[in-house]
Amino acid sequence: MPFEITDELIKQIEELILKQDNETLLGLLAEEHHADIAELLEDLNLEEATYIIKLLDSEITSDILMEMDEDDREKVLKNLSSKEIAKELDELDTDDAADMIAELPEERQEKVISKIEDEEHKADIKELLKYDENTAGGLMAKELVKVYENWNVLKCVREMRAQAEFVTRVHSIYVVDENEELKGRLSLKDLLVTSTKTHISEIYIPKVDSANVHDKAEDVARVMQKYDLEAIPVVDDKNHLLGRITIDDIVDVIKDEADKDYQMAAGLSQDVEADDTLWQHTRARLPWLFLGLLGGIGAASIMGGFEDLISKHAVLFFFTPLIAATAGNVGVQSSAIIVQGLANNDLKGSIGERLFKEFSLSLINGLALSLFLLLFTWIWKGNMLTSIAISISLFSVIVVAGIIGTFIPLFLNKRDIDPALATGPFITTSNDIFGILIYFWIAKMVLGI
Amino acid sequence: MPFEITDELIKQIEELILKQDNETLLGLLAEEHHADIAELLEDLNLEEATYIIKLLDSEITSDILMEMDEDDREKVLKNLSSKEIAKELDELDTDDAADMIAELPEERQEKVISKIEDEEHKADIKELLKYDENTAGGLMAKELVKVYENWNVLKCVREMRAQAEFVTRVHSIYVVDENEELKGRLSLKDLLVTSTKTHISEIYIPKVDSANVHDKAEDVARVMQKYDLEAIPVVDDKNHLLGRITIDDIVDVIKDEADKDYQMAAGLSQDVEADDTLWQHTRARLPWLFLGLLGGIGAASIMGGFEDLISKHAVLFFFTPLIAATAGNVGVQSSAIIVQGLANNDLKGSIGERLFKEFSLSLINGLALSLFLLLFTWIWKGNMLTSIAISISLFSVIVVAGIIGTFIPLFLNKRDIDPALATGPFITTSNDIFGILIYFWIAKMVLGI
């Protein structure tokens, strides 16, 4: 089903560009979907990609550009004149146009905007640029189909035909009063199954979910997902209809949120992709590795404090990686459950109940693992007391790690800090240190030295 | 914007149930969205939830049930008779109805199906039950609006009015020939802006993306996301139109995929939620903890083999948690980047190129971290040779861990195993062992003992 980008195709296109055989190129790409062409361009070098963008009509290149990776798009836009960019913007829906402008260097933004021909489109884009990109205002488009409650269906259909020309997908028809205040909605289906003589005020559905322009993007995503909405109107504080958000933008928000949490859990501090530069990767990875290193130094210092144990019970030291790893694993498991529960908004009960559940779970897991370890070390080393010391330590470490792993994300969330921070290197590192401290402390007590 | 479930509301509803004051209850819930009522029911006990489900009309309770958590739904369904369940199914779209039936115990499925009144609906549901839930067939609904290419617009609109009654959202109108073969599509918008006298064959768009009924759900999700589709028709191998998939189901697939990867990275072996039972949590967590424990035992055995070092260079043992943690962190970072790149389908270049990039990155990170550690240990312990040994080891471990972390997910993916397996405890554990082995081996070489 999907279009296949083969090495042959790329080679063929590169040759056609070299020969400047525009006719064949146009023929080759004419039938392809903009998303496929965008994928193709990412396999070409910058000059070749720019060549294709300049060659094709702006009706399709605007969509191609929007589909490209942000970094690649930025590079291509650098090679286009302000006028050329403005032409692309003219073809885009206002939300995409605003996103594209926002990525340009500031000194260029003004210049590009001034070159947009359609005055209404220009004003809409300028309005959208005012909103934070992580709010409903930053997601919404100005394109929508709206009718006034005092119209009749005949006038409505006539006006809608004109409006619909500019709206990719109609979804809902919003009904407003003469002050542009949102009153309700009509579905296209309703219109289709209603006689043309009916009056709008008689048929519209007065109940309509809406988002405030300042609502957080995540919250809008949650509401649209919960209520299975495919579009949601956006209003200001006085309920004036400003724009609407469609489900495709929300799919991106959901995907980005999930990717972000995943990356945090993996110890990557910013939005980094496989194809980013070495420098971007280093900036995303090194800080967390450094944090882990500091944790390791902390662990080394702690062990240094128990140096007197090493001559008598060297075997204790052999188990530090096991203790540290288990503490880290338990901590990550507990915190991931909480982070995901918070993200999906399905966490029930108080913090106390959560901690109690995690505590019970740690007892089960701790008992199972430490009994196994007890048997193993006893058989291996034949020293019951040392084996008991190690096992009791493991058990305690599991319980403490589980509680820390549950508590930290809940605590961060209460303080309005992204709880996903609590997963990954942060929790592993702190649990390593706690784990080793508890381990040697208990071992020393049990072994009586 | 969202409906607020307060403790007072819950208390009020519990009291009304106790008093069997159905009238007030119905009045209280009449205006609420099914998703909100579903959330409310999850805060009630099973008897109370069942009471509400039996009280409300099946038109809304079917939607409420679909919105509930799978475990909770299962419990409520146990309290309903086959006839009551069949009534709920009559109200649901075929895809949701099939999903609900599939969750019932097998001996109950037949009984419930036989009680469905609408024969066509029954046949459709039975057909859907044949498909694997992770395929296009498992996602699709039979509800869609279809017209024949030899109709004219007048007949089309008339027939559509009838069909549209049963379809929640129209999205696209599919055009088929007399053999039910998919020919193309019409958008509602097109129909709206076209004169009623036009012939369908003149106005339909012959290009239409479709999914094969056996396509994997993930692949369908990728295509719909890439091409920004809000609905996709599903066909059999002979291109006969069987059903269609809408974007709201795809949003769930995307969310589930992301959640699954996240959970794997966190060492949770199956779909587990914060509110599942202790037993479910134990099954999801214990196997990975046990794997980690085995890794720790492996590490202990390795260290046991270097026992002769401990009397002379005890400090080496203090740094094992640091080495193990860094190896784990680097491994998780590298593999997460690959897993995410594979999931988003944006990984370019050969395996060799990937490994080379990761190698370069490891050199940078390794150099930075090991130089820092060199300085620290030198100042702390004053022994240059030991410090050098530890730092060289750290450097080597980082390079090896990065390469392993990159290679394993790519390798698993080539073998058609979910690469997300390679993140989390699996990679941390193997890197712990490799790391410690490399560490002591290099230290022994450098220190010449």
Tell me whether residue A366 is in a domain.
Answer: yes
Q: Quick one: CA torsion of B394, B431, A272, B262, rounded to 10 degrees?
A: -150
Please compute the mean of the pLDDT values over residues B85-103 and round it to a whole number.
Answer: 92
Q: Which residue of A has its CA nearest to B370?
A: A293
Residue with tokens 């505590």: A359
Is B89 in the same domain as B111?
yes
Q: Work out the number of other CB atoms within 10 angstroms of the CB of residue A277.
A: 11
- For residue B216, give its domain range: 145-247
Contacts for B439 with CB less than 8 Å, ≥ 6 apart: B316, B319, B320, B323, B390, B393, B394, B397
Q: Best interface-test mutation with B: which of A192, A195, A223 has the largest number of B CBs within 10 A? A: A192
* A305: CB partners within 8 A, 6+ apart: A440
- Which of B37, B58, B59 is CA-nearest to residue B49? B37
- CA A173 to centroid of chain Cα atoms: 30
How many other CB atoms are found less than 10 A from the CB of residue A134? 12
Alpha-carbon distance B22 to nearest alpha carbon in chain A (angstroms)? 25
CATH code for the domain of B153: 3.10.580.10
Q: Which of A169, A259, A267 sits opposite B332 (nearest CB)?
A: A267
User: Distance between CA atoms of B141 and B133, rounded to whole angstroms?
Assistant: 12
pLDDT tens-place values along chain A, 449 residues long = 446 778 888 899 999 999 999 999 998 888 888 989 998 898 888 999 999 999 998 888 999 999 888 888 999 999 999 999 999 999 999 999 999 999 999 889 999 999 998 999 999 999 999 999 889 999 999 988 888 988 888 888 778 777 766 666 667 789 999 999 999 998 776 776 677 778 888 888 888 889 999 999 989 998 888 888 889 999 999 999 999 999 888 888 888 888 888 888 888 876 777 778 888 888 888 888 898 899 999 998 998 888 888 878 888 889 999 998 899 889 988 888 888 888 877 777 777 888 888 889 999 999 999 999 999 989 887 888 889 999 999 999 999 999 999 988 988 888 888 888 777 777 888 888 889 999 999 988 888 76
Query: Count of CB atoms within 10 A of residue B296's CB?
Result: 27
Same domain? For A216 and A346 the reply is no
Pick among B37, B62, B322 to test the A interface (most A CBs inside 10 A): B322
Note whether A335 and A414 are same-domain residues.
yes
Distance from CA of A319 to the nearest CA of B (A): 5
ipTM: 0.78
Same-domain status, B232 and B356: no
Average pLDDT over residues B122-147: 92
The letter for the amino acid at B403 is I
| CB < 8 Å to B259, chain A | 258, 340, 344
Packing angle, helices A58-67 and A34-41, rounded to 10 = 60
Q: Is residue A270 part of a domain?
A: no
Indicate the residue of B192, B230, B290 with minimum beta-carbon distance to A247: B230
B153 CB neighbours in chain A (<8 A) are none
Nearest by CB to residue B262, choosing from A209, A265, A289, is: A265
Domain count, chain A: 3
Find, among B439, B407, B424, the residue nearest to B305 by Cα.
Answer: B439
Q: Mean per-residue pLDDT for B132-141?
A: 93
**β A182-187/A211-212 pair status:** unpaired
CATH of the domain at A373: 1.10.357.20
Residue A1, domain member (yes or no): no
**Residue in chain A lying closest to B235 (CA):** A1
User: Which of B188, B365, B429 should be substituted to probe chain A, the one whose Cβ sees the most A Cβ atoms within 10 Å?
Assistant: B188
Q: Give the one of B210, B265, B299 whose C-beta lies nearest to A321's C-beta.
A: B299
Q: Are residues B171 and B131 in the same domain?
A: no
The closest of B325, B113, B441, B72 to A435, measured between CA atoms, is B325
Among B207, B229, B247, identify where a domain stops: B247
Contact B139, B152 (CB under 8 A): no
Does A265 fall in a domain?
Answer: no
Tokens of B75: 């419990």
Last residue in a domain, options A256, A291, A316: A256
Q: Are residues B125 and B150 in the same domain?
A: no
Query: Which residue in the set B164, B169, B322 is minimally distant from A293, CB to CB?
Result: B322
Facing A267 at nearest CB: one of B288, B333, B364? B333
CA distance B85 to chain A (A): 23
Q: What is the number of CB-based contacts under 8 A between chain A and chain B?
A: 355
Strand B211-212 relative to strand B231-235, pairing: parallel
What is d(CA A178, CA A58) in angstroms, rounded to the nearest whole number? 37
Q: Do A391 and A304 share a structural domain?
A: yes
Q: Distance between alpha carbon B237 and the CA centroid of its chain, in Å?
A: 27
A157 and A65 in a single domain? The answer is no
Helices assigned H by DSSP within A19-152: 22-30, 34-41, 46-55, 58-67, 70-78, 82-91, 94-102, 106-114, 119-129, 136-139
- Mutate which of B158, B234, B273, B297 to disrupt the A interface (most A C-beta within 10 Å)? B297
Q: For B233-263, how does the pLDDT look when each residue is reduced to its tens digit (9 = 90+)?
A: 999 999 999 999 998 888 888 888 888 888 8
The pLDDT score that the predictor gives to residue B164 is 66
- Residue in chain A lying closest to B288 (CA): A329
Statement to judge: residues A307 and A346 lie in one domain: yes
Residue B270 domain-assigned (yes or no)? no
Q: 10 Å Cβ neighbour count for A445?
A: 12
Q: Which pLDDT score is estimated for A356?
A: 87
Please count the other Cβ atoms lying within 10 Å of the Cβ belonging to residue A80.
18
Residues B178 and B159 in one domain: yes
Q: Which residues of B317-351 are buried (b: 16+ CB within 10 A; e: fewer)?
A: bbbbbbbbbbbbbbbbbbbbbbbbbbbeeebeeee
> Is B206 within the bounds of a domain?
yes
* Identity of the residue numbered B388: I
The answer to whether residue B237 sits within a structural domain is yes
Please indicate, yes or no, if residue A269 is contained in any of the structural domains: no
Nearest to residue A205, comparing CAs of A175, A161, A160, A244?
Answer: A175
CA nearest to A162 within chain B:
B193
Is there a single domain that holds both residue B222 and residue B153?
A: yes
| Whether B181 and B205 share a structural domain | yes
> What one-letter code names the amino acid at A208?
V
CA distance A291 to chain B (A): 10
Summarize pLDDT for B312-352 with one digit per residue, the tens.
888 888 999 999 989 988 988 888 888 888 887 777 777 78
